[in-house]
Structure 1
Amino acid sequence: MKTSVIGKSVSGLPLIAHQFGREGAKILILGGVHGDEPEGVWAALGLIGVWKESFPFKLRVTVVPQFNVDGVLNKERLNLNGVDLNRNMPTNDWSQDVAEPRYNPGPEANSEPETKALVTWLEKEKPSLIISLHSWKPVLNTNGNCQPEAQAIRDRTNYEIKDSIGYPTPGCLGTYCGLERDVPTLTYEIERGLNIHNVLNIHVPAVQEALKVSEQTRQKSL
């Protein structure tokens, strides 16, 4: 395992990334985009814990377990500037018009240090797949061609696969990568309120099943 810092939060805390593997397609796994969704953070940290012992894939996987680290520490959805990082990506549909303050997209697209760090990393590393770990009602939201990985997770969890979350999400990661840049993006909504034991025992293995599919089907990232 290699650990690096891809940027800093509003408060100056490091955005820590953990890299596993030396060959194969590049995969990005994000947790903690919304700081009040601990289930995704637990799943990301669970994967890191397993892979510290043994990493079984011919893949290059980067895990950022607490992307919105200030929000995670404060148990808040938004970052310290009060911005929803999953509405701040510089998409073609970015808009300041929001239904609720909890979706605040920021003063302009890509205004936040966390988002800027992610955009820079994406431009440099060019992953073949992104898995973004959230929590809400159980659903696997696919943007771009990540149906095979979603099906592998569904086989373990019985979660429904949808190509739309069911409401507008301007400025979101799935649109920025999955729809506008041909980087398939799977938003994995773990059941909200699930205890850590079940997250680790159900959803960590489910992600690993998805990566078995990626190992067989994704071309090597350059």
Structure 2
Amino acid sequence: MRRLLAALAATLVVVAGAAVVVPAHATTTRVTASAYVQTSVVIGTSARGRPIRAYYRGEEGAPYVLLVLGQMHGDEKDGIATARWIRDHAHPRPGTGVWVVPTLNPDGNARGTRTNGRGVDLNRNWPTSGWSGAGRGSRYWGGPRPGSEPETKAMIAFLTQVRPDRIASIHQPLRAIGRGGHGKWEKRLARFLHLPRRHLGVGNPSGTDSPTLTAWYDTTLGEHGAATTIEYGARTSHRYRTKVAGRGILRAARIH
């Protein structure tokens, strides 16, 4: 984001092999005379043509940025409420900012399905050493090729530009904070979200990297930050998925 907002008027995001001009989809509001801004961009479109939106709140050019992804699987709804609460209520402290993507899977969200509009599990589609195309037709199919889906491509392009310092990717229903080698960040998430820490695997072969967003980021752009999976329980209260989780993620990232 700190690289994106600094040149927002001229920035291109490459999505599915095409250049999409961000300003055509962006609105920026300066909240005060300072460099605090609120921004909305369309980072790409889904397999069925639905927009994938990202929202920013915080200092323009902030040296420390959090990204919150509310949903990747369309039948895991509660993280969207968290993302929207953060979008609407976060007040990042000076020197920080937060990007919010309520859903990466608007097709699955509309249909209530885990997979995207082409039947691909987006959290098995990331181009890592552990990607597999086995299981076509199942709800865990990783797609015809690694990184094949427009949603994955859009997020890869966006993350490559934004390079957040912390990523919180919200899922359900395993009720845990994923252990991924980011001890202090993970422990803060566990404490503020009242969740245990444990390994969250996807069944990829031993010695390979999971074909997930968090594993891809850690292995590809990990020098820029840490990506962690948050798993809510199957059911959460309205208060938990809004104020408790929203504030907890911001506090864990030291944004709020």
The answer, yes or no, to whether TM exceeds 0.5 is yes
Superposition deviation, residue 197 in structure 1: 2.9
C-alpha distance in structure 2 between counterparts of 1:4 and 1:82, whole Å: 26
The superposition leaves residues 96-154 of structure 1 with CA deviations (integer Å, 9 ceiling, x where unpaired) of: 13498111101001111100001111222222221101111210013343x22222222
Superposition deviation, residue 34 in structure 1: 0.5
- 1:103 aligns to what SS in structure 2? coil
Q: How does 1:119-134 map to 2 (within 5 A)?
A: 119-134=156-171
Larger RCO (alpha carbons 8 Å, 6+ apart): 1
TM-score by length of 2: 0.76
1:152 pairs with 2:188: yes
Structure 1 unaligned residues grouped into runs of 5+:
216-222
Structure 2 unaligned residues grouped into runs of 5+:
1-37, 205-209
Q: How does 1:1-222 map to 2 (within 5 A)?
A: 1-21=38-58, 22=60, 23-51=62-90, 54-56=91-93, 58-98=95-135, 101-145=138-182, 147-162=183-198, 164-169=199-204, 170-182=210-222, 183-212=225-254
C-alpha distance in structure 1 between counterparts of 2:179 and 2:65, whole Å: 18
Give the ranges of 4+ consecutive aligned residues of structure 1 lying more than 6 Å apart after TM superposition. none
State the Cα RMSD in Å.
2.0
Equivalent pair of 2:69/2:100 in contact (CA under 8 Å)? yes
C-alpha distance in structure 2 between counterparts of 1:158 and 1:31, whole Å: 18
Equivalent pair of 1:130/1:184 in contact (CA under 8 Å)? yes
Q: Which protein shows a greater Rg?
A: 2
Superposition deviation, residue 166 in structure 1: 4.2
Letter in 2 for 1:189: E
Letter in 1 for 2:185: E
TM-score by length of 1: 0.86
- 1:61 aligns to what SS in structure 2? strand
Letter in 1 for 2:190: R
The structure richer in helix per residue is 1
- 1:97 aligns to what SS in structure 2? coil
Equivalent pair of 1:10/1:79 in contact (CA under 8 Å)? yes
Equivalent pair of 1:144/1:185 in contact (CA under 8 Å)? no
Superposition deviation, residue 167 in structure 1: 4.4
Superposition deviation, residue 28 in structure 1: 1.6
Superposition deviation, residue 201 in structure 1: 3.2
